[in-house]
Amino acid sequence: MAKYILVMDQGTTGSRGVVYDEKGKKIAYDYEEYEQYYPQSGWWEQSGKALWNVTLRTAQNAIQKAGLKGTDIACLGITNQRETTTIWDKVSGEPIYNTIVWGCRRGAKICQNMIDQGYNDLVNEKTGLIIDPTYSASKIRWILDNVPGAQKRAEDGELYFGNVDSWLIYKLTKGRVHAEDYSNAARTMLFNAHELKWDDELLKIFNVPKCMLPEVKPSVGIFGYTDPEFFGAEIPITGVAGDQSAALFGQACFDEGDAKNTYGTSAVPLMYTGDTAPKTEKGLLTVAWGKDGKVKYSMGASILIAGQVIKWIRDQMNFIDAAAQSEEMSLSIPDNGGVYFVPAFTGLGAPHWDPKARGMLIGITAATTKEQITRAAVESMAYQTRDLLEEMEKNSGIKLKELKVDGGAAKNDFLLQFQADILNCKVVRPKDTETTALGACYLAGLGAGIFKDEEEIKGLWEADRVFEPQMDDETRERLYSQWCKAVEKSKGWLD
């Protein structure tokens, strides 16, 4: 019998259910977006219930589209937006507040207070991160502070916290399992990345009760079994990883110095460092995944706004009707006309770490066109990627030779050529650009014994196109210098 793998790919703006065969080939998928909420400037929320319902529905639809039944599915893999935070009643399973999204900056004051008390070095040493509202700790603290009675309920053991993987596992098992994997736990700012456990000192600093935290497990292995109600069968959950770690795995980045960038709502360049955990004061270290009782490390962090800037161009400015048109508009003009777009809608993430920055268009004249603004928006993804990769090179001592790319915007040839030009290195696009889901497929397949090891997975990975740099050095550095100047002007806007 064929061994089919089901993946729940829970992204920031939507969820995707995907069915793969035993060779890692996609045979069916379903996708659905869900509503986003922005209660205040810099705040970003979702409905935990909607997130669950949409993710379950797309998974069920994918099985149906594949012409299969739940009994045909050998295992389930989960990949998810990472730092996004839900707190719920452990008995009823009802969230006590909306899910707070990774890009929400409401925790800025909480984080600044921790920085002012001198905790940044301690957090960096233990977690590999720096104190920033991106991570889950300040989101947990905000909910416990602002939902009446939440702190006491948490201390009394009535509440659970979870990143999205943990929330989905809890719902899929009908509350029987409260767990998450190393790669997600490592993005909370409460997990010791070296000792691989919840850190008691950090929990005390943030006043987070340990009893509300999930059990942390390796990314490969059995987390639990889905309730038969959902798929008509008990399916083992055998692979779990945060979206960026899953994409790194899906790109078969298993050698030290291998790097990828996922152009999703955000963009997260990651470089695989294996057993080595480089020290970085910029908060770039994270756990890549756990397997066979060990973890592997990577460097990287979130560029807060990447593909979302194209969504903004489409939905708010009405410059385009579909995201794919951004490529056509960019190619219709010879350059950006001196326009630079810094999409700091909710502040700047790595390596700038400025929650007070805000989005900025600069270089506008009376002759500026919507084509130039659109091109500047696309170019911003490439510039931000260089910002972060240069910092990773500096910290790791490893020179980037090529960049594997994936995600929705990786279909944009203009973006990838410009990325190769501005980085001055090869950019490689795989045949399957949805490598986040593919990585979860590989992890789950390993956990279920469908795939033997990483060497077998390397043999399954296929390149689609290689983009070689074509820009001369003088032009490259002139453009990048102007970008850096624009970024500096966007910082500290909210004083």
> Using one digit for the tens of pLDDT, what is the confidence trace for 125-170?
999 999 989 999 999 999 999 999 999 999 999 999 999 999 999 9
Question: How far is the CA of 289 from the CAs of 193, 218, 432, in angstroms?
Answer: 11, 7, 21
Given a contact cutoff of 8 angstroms between Cβ atoms, the answer to whether 330 and 409 are in contact is: no
Helix axes 413-423, 370-396, angle to 10 degrees: 40
Q: Report the chain's C-alpha Rg in angstroms.
A: 21
Rounded mean pLDDT, 451-458 = 94
Which of these, 343, 407, 392, 409, lies nearest to 103 by C-alpha position? Answer: 343
Given a contact cutoff of 8 angstroms between Cβ atoms, the answer to whether 129 and 184 are in contact is: no
**Spatial distance between the Cα atoms of 186 and 270, rounded to a whole number of angstroms:** 14
Question: How far is the CA of 227 from the CAs of 116, 237, 250, 450, in angstroms?
Answer: 47, 11, 27, 22
Q: Is 27 helix (H, G, I), strand (E, B) or coil?
A: strand
Rounded mean pLDDT, 417-427 = 97
Confidence of residue 325 (pLDDT cuts 50, 70, 90): very high
Instruction: Tell me which of 14-28, 116-130, 298-312 is least confident.
Output: 298-312
φ, ψ of residue 188 to 5 degrees: the values are: -90, -20
Tokens of 419: 């990325």
Tokens of 86: 């839900």
The residues facing 263 across adjacent strands are 267
pLDDT above 80 for 266: yes
Which pLDDT does position 41 carry in this prediction?
87
Which pLDDT does position 257 carry in this prediction?
82
Strands 402-406 and 463-467: unpaired
Query: Tell me, what DSSP letter sits at residue 326?
Result: H
What H or E segment, with its residue span, contains residue 414?
helix 413-423
pLDDT above 80 for 281: no
**Spatial distance between the Cα atoms of 352 and 200, rounded to a whole number of angstroms:** 29
- Please list the helix, strand and coil fractions of the chain in percent, rounded to the nearest 5, in that order: 40, 25, 40
CB-based contacts of 132, cutoff 8 Å, min separation 6: 111, 189, 283, 349, 353, 355
**Spatial distance between the Cα atoms of 230 and 8, rounded to a whole number of angstroms:** 13
Q: What mean pLDDT value characterizes the chain?
A: 94
**Spatial distance between the Cα atoms of 42 and 39, rounded to a whole number of angstroms:** 9
Confidence of residue 74 (pLDDT cuts 50, 70, 90): very high
Place of tokens 């779990």: 240
Which pLDDT does position 361 carry in this prediction?
97
Question: How far is the CA of 39 from the CAs of 36, 46, 87, 106, 314, in angstroms?
Answer: 10, 11, 18, 10, 21
pTM of the model: 0.86
Q: Is 291 helix (H, G, I), strand (E, B) or coil?
A: strand
Rounded mean pLDDT, 300-305 = 85
Q: How far is CA 461 from the centre of its chain?
A: 21
Rounded mean pLDDT, 69-90 = 97
Confidence of residue 301 (pLDDT cuts 50, 70, 90): confident
Place of tokens 């056509």: 328
pLDDT above 90 for 302: no
Given a contact cutoff of 8 angstroms between Cβ atoms, the answer to whether 344 and 358 are in contact is: yes
Tokens of 359: 């989005």
Which pLDDT does position 283 carry in this prediction?
83
Given a contact cutoff of 8 angstroms between Cβ atoms, the answer to whether 87 and 288 are in contact is: no
DSSP string, 449-469: TSS--HHHHHHH--EEEEEPP
Confidence of residue 62 (pLDDT cuts 50, 70, 90): very high
pLDDT tens-digit readout, 41-55 = 889 999 999 999 999
pLDDT tens-digit readout, 404-418 = 998 889 999 999 999
pLDDT tens-digit readout, 330-355 = 999 999 999 999 999 988 988 898 88
Burial class from Cβ neighbours inside 10 Å (0-12, 13-18, 19+) for residue 53 reads middle
Strands (E), 301-388: 340-342, 360-362
Which pLDDT does position 156 carry in this prediction?
97
**Spatial distance between the Cα atoms of 64 and 398, rounded to a whole number of angstroms:** 46
Which of these, 144, 145, 146, 139, lies nearest to 163 by C-alpha position? Answer: 139
Confidence of residue 2 (pLDDT cuts 50, 70, 90): low
pLDDT above 90 for 228: yes
Which pLDDT does position 456 carry in this prediction?
95
Which pLDDT does position 232 carry in this prediction?
96
Confidence of residue 1 (pLDDT cuts 50, 70, 90): low
- Rounded to 5°, the CA angle 64-179-267 comes to 70
Which pLDDT does position 128 carry in this prediction?
93
**Spatial distance between the Cα atoms of 36 and 101, rounded to a whole number of angstroms:** 9
What H or E segment, with its residue span, contains residue 222?
strand 220-225
